[in-house]
Amino acid sequence: MAMQSPLPVRDGVNATRLRLPQEGPWGTVMDYVLHRFGHVDPDGIVRRFETGEVVGLGGEPLNAATPLGGHEFLWYYRNLPVEEPVPFTEDILFQDGDLLVVDKPHFLPTTPGGRFVQESALVRLRNRLGLPDLIPMHRLDRATAGVILFSTNPQTRGAYQTLFERRAIRKEYECVSALPHGVVPEGLEFPLTYGNRMTKRKGHLLAIVEDGEPNAESGIDLVRTGTSAGTHAGTAVGHFLLRPRTGKTHQLRVHMAALGLGILNDPFYPVLWDKAPDDHARPLQLLARSVAFTDPLTGTERTFRSRLELRERPGAGPSVSEPARDEPAATALR
């Protein structure tokens, strides 16, 4: 069970937890924290200890004289960065006492991280709806748009988390990819299944493909081909339906690039772009179209579908996806 923070959510953001060493060359807890973070804001750290803003388990305030070794953890509120607003709004698709289902726009992260704290779907929704206990059940990359499930009730959260652990959640994605030389690469017959072995290491931007038994698998089908009607107008593109059977970071992006069908506007795969400001006119053409499952509380079948569209899809018709087909054939391409 996760350790309960003694500090409440503030401005939609959880207090930060820090594990403390039990011994070392620091006489007090504050000495250790200054050693770790004093290069950032030493005056701010001292002020927090003096005003009782740093607490231990149970909410006990830690002061400048609190000796090291008596507390395993401390909690405090971070100073929030100045953030550039993400100019797109999350859309609520469904809400009841247990679940919140949201259509996340491109460029908005699911959870706080780095330079995005208030400008994350979780913090926005906590503040907007007054739900400090709101927790995402899964995540989408900041670059990916579409359906995300959130838990609104800590008492029933475990039942829904079990669905993800048992892989009992059915997800469908859509993407638009440029067709090399204007056609689907020779030798690809859809539907197909692609599998490989992937790892994502902390601190590395890109997922790593390794030799060995596949641990990432995606069903891929071609919906239609044509020319883009968006920013890439005139480019030959394919519109694809994707069914991930595993949930590795960047899995769909890596698999499409490996097939020679890198997703339009992907700054990572197959080639890492130089870092540049977000171009809101060129979102990654990847959309989490739907999430379906048997509700563990009621036994009813539930399906939630995104209202968003991929702007580069061929034909620019009103509908992006066709009716769900049978699972793609198990044609392993590694």
Rg of the chain over Cα atoms, rounded to whole angstroms, equals: 23
Domain count for the chain, please give it.
Answer: 2
Of 53, 76, 99, the residue that ends a domain is: 76
| Whether residue 267 is found in the same domain as residue 118 | yes
On whether both 50 and 166 belong to a single domain, the answer is no
Any domain includes 310? no
Do 53 and 114 share a structural domain?
no
CATH number of the domain bearing residue 242: 3.30.2350.10
- Burial grade of 261 (CB within 10 A; 0-12, 13-18, 19 or more): buried
322 in a structural domain: no
Predicted confidence at residue 113, as pLDDT, reads: 82
Cα–Cα distance list, 309 to 153, 229, 231, 287, 330 (Å):
30, 12, 14, 8, 28
Cα 204 to chain centroid distance, Å, stands at 16
Mark whether 131 and 59 lie in a shared domain: no
Instruction: Write out the residue range of the structural domain in which residue 29 sits.
Output: 9-76
**Residue 158 CB partners (closer than 8 Å, separation 6+):** none
The confidence score (pLDDT) of residue 114 equals: 77
d(CA 239, CA 224): 5
Strands (E), 5-161: 16-19, 73-76, 91-95, 99-104, 135-136, 145-151
From first to last of its 334 residues, the chain has per-residue pLDDT tens of: 567 899 999 989 999 899 999 999 999 999 999 999 888 788 889 999 999 999 999 899 999 999 999 999 999 988 877 888 999 999 999 999 999 999 999 999 999 887 888 999 999 999 999 999 999 999 999 999 999 999 999 999 999 999 999 999 999 999 999 999 899 999 999 999 999 999 988 778 899 899 999 999 999 999 999 999 899 999 999 999 999 999 999 999 999 999 999 999 999 999 888 877 789 999 999 999 999 999 999 999 999 999 999 999 997 543 333 333 333 333 333 3
3-state secondary structure of 333: strand
- Residue 327, Ramachandran bin (φ over 0: left; ψ between -120 and 50: alpha; else beta): beta
170, part of any domain: yes
Residues 289, 235 share a domain: yes
Distance CA 144, CA 252 (A): 11
Instruction: Let me know whether 126 and 252 are in one domain.
Output: yes
Residue 1 lies in a domain: no
- Within-domain flag for 334: no
The CA-based dihedral angle spanning residues 33, 36, 42, 48, taken in that order and rounded to the nearest 10 degrees: -30
Question: At 308, is the secondary structure helix, strand, or coil?
Answer: coil
* Inside any domain, residue 269: yes
Q: Are residues 64 and 176 in the same domain?
A: no
List phi, psi (to 5°) of 67. -70, 150
pLDDT at 2: 63
278/257 Cα distance (integer angstroms)? 21
For residues 158 and 101, membership in a common domain is answered with yes
Identify the pLDDT of residue 315: 77
End of a domain among 76, 103, 135? 76
pTM: 0.84
198 with 160, same domain: the answer is yes
Nearest residue to 170 via CA among 219, 134, 216? 219
- Residues 271 and 294 placed together within one structural domain of the fold: yes
In a domain, 81, yes or no: no
Mark whether 117 and 71 lie in a shared domain: no
Residue where one domain finishes, among candidates 76, 106, 128 = 76
Q: How far apart are CA 242 and CA 286, in angstroms?
A: 10
pLDDT of residue 316: 59
**Structural domain includes residue 32:** yes
Does one domain contain both 68 and 107? Answer: no
